[in-house]
Amino acid sequence: MASLYTQQSRNVFRTWMLMGVFLSIVMLVGFLASQYFGNSAILYVAVGFALVTNVWAYWFSDKVAIASVGAIPADETQYKELHRIVENLAITAGLPKPRVYIIEDPAPNAFATGRDKDHAVIAVTTGLMGMMERNELEGVIAHELSHVGNRDILVMTVAVVLVGFISVLANMFMHVSMFGGRDSDSKAGPLIAIAAVLAMILAPIAAQLIQLAISRKREFLADASGALLTRYPDGLASALQKISSYDMPMQRASTTTAHLFISNPFGAHQAGQFVQKLFSTHPPVEARVAALHGLNV
């Protein structure tokens, strides 16, 4: 039987393998676009835009995420137990204590953000605080701290930027093509032209699916890492089951920040259908609970 250590190792490998495929799509789209138009300036502009977006997202992603859900700093007197749990687990993980925020929302959920361990934020909803036993809350916090320790925020920021890059390139292609912007000196043959058109149509869809797949793998990894941190997988498993029993969406749910949360902020209404799984930011709770119950610490 696999241990949590092997599960963690496998998910790290799978995540970086998906990122490799992601980068391959970016390079393929860029190559076909430059061949089709016979003009590399389009690619340079798109890359430059993606880099600027990446830098902005890296520095300000935490502020955007906090503002988008209306989170406020958790008062250390009112939420003394929450601060104690975060601090104790951060010490155990060898991490600085993140800033702790509260989201006034009855839906049980939590997320972590921040560009690195020194600028990390953990936010939990009032619904989560009211629903969880201590060992369950510890499991959730350990999961979020694992996102910080595993540098998940950086990986997901890169993934989001790459999706944006491909989408921008595809939109540029479509607009320029509509207005006859193709260079008459372009040596691209009919096969290259067809491949370029297909790439521009399908690449954004493929990129989005890969981003979602990366998000799902990071959740499995954070589950495994969090269980290693608390040495009690059942606490997190029980927390996930309670969270999944709440069907209503968060009051300020957004597709922009959905991948940050421990559970889908739009409500636990994924009926296990293949298409729903494919386009979800999170793996099915049943699969996550089974993985936690089936592994050894």
In the block, residue with structure tokens 């032209």? 193
Listed residue (230, 247, 236, 243) closest to 291, CA to CA: 236
Q: Are 54 and 224 in contact (CB under 8 A)?
A: no
- The pairing of beta strand 110-113 with beta strand 99-103: unpaired
- Which one of 81, 104, 138, 144 is the catalytic residue? 144
Q: Are 263 and 236 in contact (CB under 8 A)?
A: no
Q: Establish whether 104 is a catalytic residue.
A: no
CA gap 162, 258 in Å, rounded: 17
Residue 2 has phi, psi (to 5 degrees) of -70, 150
Q: How far apart are CA 147 and CA 60, in angstroms?
A: 17
Strand extents, DSSP E, 62-214: 72-73, 99-103, 110-113, 121-125
| Coil, helix or strand at residue 41 | helix
**Beta carbons within 10 angstroms of residue 126's beta carbon:** 15
Report whether 103 contacts 124 (CB < 8 A).
yes
| Measured distance CA(211)–CA(259) in Å, rounded | 10
Report in angstroms the alpha-carbon separations of 191 from 111, 185, 194, 195. Answer: 46, 16, 5, 6
Decide: 18 and 210 in contact? Cβ < 8 Å. Answer: yes
Please give the positions annotated as active site: 144
